[in-house]
Amino acid sequence: AALPRSAPHIPDTPFEAMVAEYCEIKGNYFLVVADRLSGWIEIKRVTRNSEASGTKGFIQCLRILFSIFGVPKELSSDGGPEFKSQATTEFLRRWGFEHRISSAYYPQSNGRAELAAKTTKRLLHDNTGRGGDLDNDSFLRALLTLRNTLIHHVEYLKLK
């Protein structure tokens, strides 16, 4: 298996480097976007093989995240079709940040995305409503707990 072309950007500030991945839980499809430094996770339920799960939906989600958190210097993904389309490539170029694609055969090169997807899968499996519904107290409590859990390396950076 080929190794990734370059090491991921090590961020100095939150949302400077983000990771994105799609995952499936109980037949429902979700877009997971996470901050590489803090581990903050955003989750959006999308219908598979729909406009929302394709390039247009991915770009729309990025625009919303940029308006909240700012534009990152780097976005890492596994290079799925939504991430490699001409429209996505053009969007990333216009916004001036790098898209780092990790190898599907070397997923640890996109470790934060893999960790975010694994954590999210566990959270979604136990807390989604009927049909993957995210609008319920159980999911919101679990997400709040996750977002309020201190990540060891972030605390270490604060102490430096």
Backbone angles phi, psi at 78, to 5 degrees: -85, 0
**What's the pTM?**
0.80
Does the residue 1 lie in any domain? no
Q: Please write the tens of the pLDDT for every residue from 104-141.
A: 555 555 566 667 778 888 999 999 877 888 989 999 99
Q: Please write the tens of the pLDDT for every residue from 63-76.
A: 999 999 999 999 98
Does the residue 117 lie in any domain? yes
Does the residue 81 lie in any domain? yes
Asked whether the predicted pLDDT for residue 62 surpasses 90, the reply is: yes
Domain of 93, in residue numbers: 17-155
Kindly state the helix (H) or strand (E) to which residue 45 belongs, with its residue range. strand 41-46
Does the residue 12 lie in any domain? no
Please state, in angstroms and rounded to a whole number, the distance separating the CA atoms of residues 114 and 1: 18
Does the residue 10 lie in any domain? no
136: CATH = 3.30.420.10
In 3D, which of 68, 116, 75 has the Cα closest to residue 96?
Answer: 75
Q: Is 22 exposed, middle or buried (0-12, 13-18, 19+ CB in 10 A)?
A: buried
Does the residue 5 lie in any domain? no
Does the residue 138 lie in any domain? yes
Provide the domain count of the chain. Answer: 1
In 3D, which of 54, 30, 34 has the Cα closest to residue 44?
Answer: 30
Does the residue 57 lie in any domain? yes
